Amino acid sequence: MEKFIKITGVAAPLPMINIDTDMIIPKQFLKTIKRTGLGKNLFDEMRYDDNGDEIADFVLNKPAYRKAQILVTGDNFGCGSSREHAPWALLDFGIRCIVAPSFADIFYNNCFKNGILPIKLPQSEVDKLMDDAERGQNATITIDLEAQEISGPDGGVIAFDIDPFRKHCLMNGLDDIGLTLEKTDKIAAYESKASLAHPWLNASG
């Protein structure tokens, strides 16, 4: 998993509430178990018309936001079914951070497991960032995870809270497998001790 320490990038405004996981990545794209290739189908039903052509008014189709790394959005983001393809699609598109007043619990947890930083802020603070994000190519925001601060294009700073363990995992690029591998020495020591104490467990055949 890629480390998240600090990013500076364009923030895309998506002022909608209750964006569910089927809106993020529709069910017809869930057949794959690969984490790559889903970015082109992110928000598919809002990005494309029935002929597969881009809808020009959708924010991620606008030239200023095609390479957005930050998404500023509304309350209850990621609600609906618990598909892990949703953070996969966001990450494959290039989104590394989502700012919203609240998230669905399962989606929120899945973000951390896939290297995306979801930030919860009061609505008033989200409104300020939404206003910043609507500046198009000038909507550059810095997310500093170590300092737990968001810096806007005018120099304003907003602090955010994050669980220390989740912060550690993101800054060190540790998913569930990575966390397990951190304990390789302890696992090997336990297996060696168990092998000596119970040699019959090693018998084959």
**186: Cβ contacts below 8 Å, ≥ 6 apart:** none
Dist CA 81 CA 199 (whole Å): 46
- pTM, whole model, 2 decimals? 0.86
* Number of CB atoms found within 10 A of residue 193's CB: 10
Dist CA 134 CA 152 (whole Å): 12
Looking at domain 6-174, its CATH class is: alpha beta
Q: Both tokens of residue 143?
A: 């997310």
Written as tens digits, the pLDDT of the chain (205 aa) is 899 999 999 999 999 999 999 999 999 998 887 888 999 999 999 999 999 999 999 999 999 999 999 999 999 999 998 889 999 999 999 999 999 999 999 999 999 999 999 999 999 999 999 999 998 878 899 999 999 999 998 889 999 999 999 999 999 999 765 665 555 666 666 666 766 777 766 765 4
Dist CA 99 CA 90 (whole Å): 13
